[in-house]
Amino acid sequence: MAKPDKVAAVDEIADRFRSSSAAVVTEYSGLTVSQLTTLRRALGTGASYRVAKNTLVKRAAEEAGVTGLESLFVGPTAIAFIEGEPVDAAKALRDFAKDNKGLVIKGGYMDGRPLTVEEVTRIADLETREVLLAKLAGAMKGNLSKAAGLFAAPASQVARLAAALRDKKAEGAPADEPAES
């Protein structure tokens, strides 16, 4: 019979899998408690970092319908459950792993499918959502300015043509008057 605390842990991990937009599986061997605390702070409020037993995580993943991660649950395992945009959390994990060799990214899970280490790294290399939106807004503003210039061009050409005709007419008026004899 399963112990109530283990059943509760499986339920909690399964709920985290269901409610997260992404999850990154890591190995944390050799990290101290203070280093893990630093990592948790680096992840920010959009992600939580959970150390768990492999057997419990396997059951929770199965219960949550998460497949393809079974081979990652070997050795000391911890999972970063990401809520919202995964880019910032993936960057924090990648940067922390560069500085602390004890943290190894094994893979992840996002949009209903498992991710390789390379895919997690590519997510970390992406610009944040805010930066991408700012670039899009800048590009749209540039295109709107071009469009405004194109729409204004025919009107300004007509105005220049009318001014040129008026100037030509003003120059030609004295010559057109009949000469007095």
Q: What is the pLDDT of residues 33-80, one digit of tens each?
A: 999 999 999 888 889 998 989 999 999 999 998 888 888 898 889 999
Q: What is the mean pLDDT of residues 83-98?
A: 89
Q: How high is the pLDDT of residue 174?
A: 56
Rounded CA-CA distance 37/96 in Å is 12
Residues in Cβ contact with 26 at an 8 Å cutoff, skipping those fewer than 6 apart: 77, 78, 79, 80, 93, 97, 103, 104, 105, 106
Q: What is the mean pLDDT of residues 83-88?
A: 86
Residue 24 pLDDT exceeds 90: yes
Question: In terms of pTM, does the model score above 0.85?
Answer: no
Q: What is the DSSP letter of 23?
A: E
Residues across the chain: 181
Q: Quickly count helices (H) and strands (E) in the chain.
A: 6, 5
